[in-house]
Chains A and B, each alone.
Chain A
Amino acid sequence: MDAETRVASAPHVTLDGVTKRYGGVTALDSVDFACRLGSIHAVLGENGAGKSTLIKIMSGVVQPDEGEIRLDGKPMTFAHPAAANAKGIVCIFQELSLMSDLSVADNISISDPPRRFGLIDRKAQRRRAEQLLARIGCEDVNPLSRVRDLPLSRRQMVEIAKALAKEPTVLILDEATSALTAADVDTVFGILRRLRDDGISILTISHRMHEIEAVADRCSVFRNGRHIETFDQGARTEGEIVQMMIGREISAHFPPKPPPPEVATPMLQLSGYSWENRLKSIDLSVGAGEIVGLGGLDGQGQKELLLGLFGVLKDVSGTVTVQGKTVKIKSPQDAKKAGVDLALIPEDRKTEGLMLPMSIADNLTIASLSRLSAGPFVNPAAMTAAVEDGIKRMQIKVGSEFDPVSTLSGGNQQKVVIAKWLMTDPKIVLLNDPTRGIDVGTKQEIYRLLRDLAETGAAIILYSTDYEELIGCCDRVAVMYDGQIVRELAGAEITERNIIASALNMDEAAA
């Protein structure tokens, strides 16, 4: 199918006047939306724009309050995900839908396993898993392995295999590439293009503009629960798209970097820092007021480095010096202590960053309770003041600070995590992919905040899977490969080309 006929092809899934309210909040406001047969359609928007609700309605997770969904022109109602699956609408959710105690093969065939005499045919199930894994370039995954034992990026690929096993006619991806390595992203895009050419309609949500440019045919922008515009990919510039998403002018993506200091006083120094076979004799120095990025392909030890510093990993060797003093950090409790003053913004805010059922106020103050206490009791006045301060400082959009933190949008939840750690007045801030799955507006606020923090003399280590972020935010970038720092880039050297070349451990000449 060439581009002409594809554009001219009929709508596959249509939403007519769909409205969805959660309590007083209108998540979707009479949305008309169509996804054409055999196209890759990107949905863009800030957090809270209604993208997640849109796909939840299409995939049967929630039901619209008003309006209707039509598939090939026929009105449909999906009471639950299985009903949508039965019609060929399959969604790969941002929150992994794998059962970690079951094997890869079990997971892939979970909805409709091959059966013999009514019982699950494990051999056939395994063959099916092997075929699907091979199709997405994951031959290295043994179908018998428990999902629990796989790294995050492989789990995401298993998730994709699981969706393909359902033989979708409409495939929906919600931030499905955010945990993937660059090589896996390419593989997945290859599969998406092939599926599109087979006449499957693909709807994708992503915050990575370059990925959308690489793969999408059509784009739709959502803002505040409304469908703003749908256009062919390339018909709008990046600036115009961002403008539509946030509805306000953005002067610059990243705050300006200060000139490098003459003599940087090292705040944090590592030498010979090693752990298992994942970190190999790392030497790194981070000065006060400096933002150092960790680059490289996913899974080269960047996360382990941050976790190790924060006292999460056991049996770490090498020396860690904070402000000239050698310290032993054996637990996050140690890391928080005066004289070390570390803070880690963890990778997964839902499990490591927040106590979801607890209130926003509780979450904000949980890391700094000792500061807010008189003796064994928390001082309510100090707590209220600290909570107000945190909400104001991070501009967190809350109804009441006593609402469960789970009621906030992803971006605001992440702000709570950051605010929580800022309350401990950290001298060293470690961030593990802090903008994953977060809208552009919040991202920019976080960049601004990092620079402000650095200006007050904090040392910052930022791991990001997004090269743009490293380039825009960091004074220096340490590129990691196989547990080592293979190159440190500073100033004008920090370019995508340099980061990628180092990440692949290529010679500069070869790059």
Chain B
Amino acid sequence: MSDLRIRLSQNAPLLTAVVVFALFYVFYNMNHPRGFSTAVLIQNSNEVFTLAMVAMAQTLPVLLGGLDLSVGAIMTLVNTIASHLLNGGPLQIIFGFIVCLAAGAACGFVNGCVVVYGRIQPIIATLATGAIFMGIALFLRPTPGGDVDGDLSWTATNDLYEIAATYGFAQDGDAAWFQPIAWIPVPLLLLILVAVCIWLPFARSVTGRTVYAVGSGEGAAFMSGLAIDRAKIAAFTLGGLFAGIGGLYLALQTSSGNADIPQAGAYTLNSIAAVVIGGTSLLGGVGSAIGSIFGALILRTISFNFRIFEIDPLMQPLFEGVVLLAAVSLGALRVLRVKNSLELFR
């Protein structure tokens, strides 16, 4: 087989997710009164970012062959921390950012340590830690509210032009060289930055490779002399960081913090759906966080379409369920091609 064919067949689930998203999104824009406009793109990016981050967070434990039920709680916890810290002078805000990201990573680190040193399965370990994180979030923010710097909130949820205009560079965003990129929504840029600057290097690092190896066969990974424990802790920590970025952004987007238990649960479950739709195997070892981003995009695009067609929003869970089932079934299509029933169990 040629290299190209091997690459295509190995990345088929991801490519399918990309194509499905493209179809859904073009369809949405064609039917939107202001379709294909910057305003729509900005709004969509805002609505997608947090779920995309939480889905990336979920990808790591899934690649290890587990599930993380605490990603929504970590996101919520960081959201409530951010609602306390993201105000005041520039230094204070920067300090707030650092604390938020560190808190997310620390939550993930705790998960990793419980899984590795407690020898507890991720799903049950994170069920427990998730409840703890949620408890801390409720303690920090018993009722919704908080104070987030207005300029920051405005610029983080708009296009690059607004950043320039608000903070006064590139001639307040009117410089000629700035125009080709001025339209880019900040959340979209952030998403790409996180994917390119954090995920891709991680996936190509030895630790990242070890995460895949553990998911594919932990015994074999151990026998190959890999640092399994370190990779697991790193995976959970990075997952916590991703979830933390999501929570931080949600605070900027809503200008507040909210320790909302149903919302945290919904994010966790949607993150699992996004990971699966994005082509990552729940058995571990196969997939990528890039796929999960597209999984999140597909889920969100479904709700965009519901909005413009004014379908009863109560139907939305049903439709999302159908898409999830279709995605899983698509993955199971190979079963039809398998002529040796034994291969189904490998």
Interface residues of A (CB under 8 A from B): 61, 80-82, 84-85, 93, 95-102, 106, 110-111, 113, 115, 118-120, 122, 142, 144-146, 148, 162, 275-276, 304, 307, 311-315, 331, 351-352
A311 and B286 alpha carbons, distance in the complex (Å): 30
| Nearest opposing residue in chain A for B200, CB measure | A119
Q: Counting CB contacts under 8 A, is B296 at the interface?
A: no
Q: Counting CB contacts under 8 A, is B6 at the interface?
A: yes
A410 and B201 alpha carbons, distance in the complex (Å): 43
- Closest 4 A-B residue pairs measured CB to CB? A82-B225, A101-B285, A101-B216, A99-B216
Instruction: Tell whether, in the assembled complex, residue A119 and residue B201 are in contact, meaning their CB atoms are under 8 Å apart.
Output: yes
Cβ < 8 Å to A, chain B residues 184-243: 201, 204-206, 209, 212-213, 215-217, 219-227
A503 and B66 alpha carbons, distance in the complex (Å): 46
Instruction: Tell whether, in the assembled complex, residue B225 and residue A80 are in contact, meaning their CB atoms are under 8 Å apart.
Output: yes
Q: A120-B205, A142-B1, A146-B10 are in contact. Are A99 and B223 (CB under 8 A)?
A: no
**Please, which residues of chain A bring their CB within 8 A of the CB of B3?**
142, 144
| Nearest opposing residue in chain B for A315, CB measure | B339
Instruction: Tell whether, in the assembled complex, residue B217 and residue A98 are in contact, meaning their CB atoms are under 8 Å apart.
Output: yes
**Please, which residues of chain B bring their CB within 8 A of the CB of A275?**
339
A162 and B224 alpha carbons, distance in the complex (Å): 9
Q: Please tell me which one of the listed residues B7, B209, B345 contacts residue A144 in the complex, with CB atoms under 8 A apart.
A: B7
**Please, which residues of chain A bring their CB within 8 A of the CB of B209?**
102, 106, 110, 113, 120
Q: A101-B286, A118-B205, A142-B3 are in contact. Are A111 and B342 (CB under 8 A)?
A: no
User: From residue B282, how far is it (CB to closest CB) to chain A in Å?
Assistant: 13
Instruction: Tell whether, in the assembled complex, residue B220 and residue A314 are in contact, meaning their CB atoms are under 8 Å apart.
Output: no
A145 and B10 alpha carbons, distance in the complex (Å): 9
User: From residue B337, how far is it (CB to closest CB) to chain A in Å?
Assistant: 10
**Please, which residues of chain B bring their CB within 8 A of the CB of A98?**
217, 220
Instruction: Tell whether, in the assembled complex, residue A99 and residue B6 are in contact, meaning their CB atoms are under 8 Å apart.
Output: no
User: From residue B196, how far is it (CB to closest CB) to chain A in Å?
Assistant: 13
**Please, which residues of chain B bring their CB within 8 A of the CB of A96?**
220
**Please, which residues of chain A bring their CB within 8 A of the CB of B206?**
113, 115, 120
18 contacts between A and B (CB under 8 A): A61-B223, A80-B225, A81-B225, A93-B223, A97-B220, A97-B224, A99-B217, A99-B220, A99-B221, A101-B215, A110-B224, A144-B3, A307-B340, A312-B341, A313-B339, A314-B339, A314-B341, A351-B345
Instruction: Tell whether, in the assembled complex, residue B1 and residue A110 are in contact, meaning their CB atoms are under 8 Å apart.
Output: no
A351 and B342 alpha carbons, distance in the complex (Å): 10
Instruction: Tell whether, in the assembled complex, residue A119 and residue B204 are in contact, meaning their CB atoms are under 8 Å apart.
Output: yes
User: From residue B42, how far is it (CB to closest CB) to chain A in Å?
Assistant: 33
Instruction: Tell whether, in the assembled complex, residue B285 and residue A111 are in contact, meaning their CB atoms are under 8 Å apart.
Output: no
**Please, which residues of chain B bring their CB within 8 A of the CB of A148?**
346
**Please, which residues of chain A bring their CB within 8 A of the CB of B10?**
144, 146
User: From residue A117, how far is it (CB to closest CB) to chain B in Å?
Assistant: 9
Q: Please tell me which one of the listed residues A95, A111, A120 contacts residue B226 in the complex, with CB atoms under 8 A apart.
A: A111
A100 and B219 alpha carbons, distance in the complex (Å): 12
| Nearest opposing residue in chain B for A144, CB measure | B6
**Please, which residues of chain A bring their CB within 8 A of the CB of B346?**
100, 148, 351
| Nearest opposing residue in chain B for A118, CB measure | B205
A9 and B213 alpha carbons, distance in the complex (Å): 40
Q: A97-B220, A113-B206 are in contact. Are A352 and B342 (CB under 8 A)?
A: yes
User: From residue B238, how far is it (CB to closest CB) to chain A in Å?
Assistant: 15
* Interface majority SS (helix, strand, loop, mixed), chain B: helix
**Please, which residues of chain B bring their CB within 8 A of the CB of A313?**
339-341
Q: A312-B342, A313-B339 are in contact. Are A81 and B212 (CB under 8 A)?
A: no
4 other contacts beyond A314-B338, A314-B339, with CB at 8 A cut-off? A85-B225, A99-B213, A99-B224, A101-B217
Q: Please tell me which one of the listed residues B216, B225, B345 contacts residue A111 in the complex, with CB atoms under 8 A apart.
A: B225
Q: A313-B340, A331-B341 are in contact. Are A102 and B222 (CB under 8 A)?
A: no
A399 and B309 alpha carbons, distance in the complex (Å): 69
Instruction: Tell whether, in the assembled complex, residue A102 and residue B216 are in contact, meaning their CB atoms are under 8 Å apart.
Output: yes
Cβ < 8 Å to A, chain B residues 123-166: none
| Nearest opposing residue in chain A for B3, CB measure | A144
Q: Please tell me which one of the listed residues A80, A100, A146, A276 contacts residue B339 in the complex, with CB atoms under 8 A apart.
A: A276
A122 and B200 alpha carbons, distance in the complex (Å): 13
Q: A276-B339, A315-B339 are in contact. Are A97 and B223 (CB under 8 A)?
A: yes
Interface string of B275-302 (1 = CB under 8 A from A): 0000001001110000000000000000
**Please, which residues of chain A bring their CB within 8 A of the CB of B213?**
99, 102, 106, 110
Instruction: Tell whether, in the assembled complex, residue B340 and residue A101 are in contact, meaning their CB atoms are under 8 Å apart.
Output: no
Instruction: Tell whether, in the assembled complex, residue A102 and residue B212 are in contact, meaning their CB atoms are under 8 Å apart.
Output: yes
Q: A307-B342, A312-B342 are in contact. Are A100 and B217 (CB under 8 A)?
A: yes
Q: Please tell me which one of the listed residues B204, B205, B285 contacts residue A99 in the complex, with CB atoms under 8 A apart.
A: B285
**Please, which residues of chain B bring their CB within 8 A of the CB of A115?**
206
**Please, which residues of chain A bring their CB within 8 A of the CB of B341?**
311-314, 331
A415 and B212 alpha carbons, distance in the complex (Å): 36
A144 and B6 alpha carbons, distance in the complex (Å): 7
A276 and B345 alpha carbons, distance in the complex (Å): 20
Instruction: Tell whether, in the assembled complex, residue A312 and residue B340 are in contact, meaning their CB atoms are under 8 Å apart.
Output: yes
**Please, which residues of chain A bring their CB within 8 A of the CB of B286?**
101
Instruction: Tell whether, in the assembled complex, residue A99 and residue B339 are in contact, meaning their CB atoms are under 8 Å apart.
Output: no
**Please, which residues of chain A bring their CB within 8 A of the CB of B216?**
99-102
Instruction: Tell whether, in the assembled complex, residue A110 and residue B226 are in contact, meaning their CB atoms are under 8 Å apart.
Output: yes
**Please, which residues of chain A bring their CB within 8 A of the CB of B285?**
99-102
User: From residue B339, how far is it (CB to closest CB) to chain A in Å?
Assistant: 5
**Please, which residues of chain B bring their CB within 8 A of the CB of A311?**
341
A349 and B90 alpha carbons, distance in the complex (Å): 65
Of A96, A122, A144, A148, the most chain B CB neighbours within 10 A belong to A144
A115 and B341 alpha carbons, distance in the complex (Å): 40
Of A99, A120, A145, A162, the most chain B CB neighbours within 10 A belong to A99
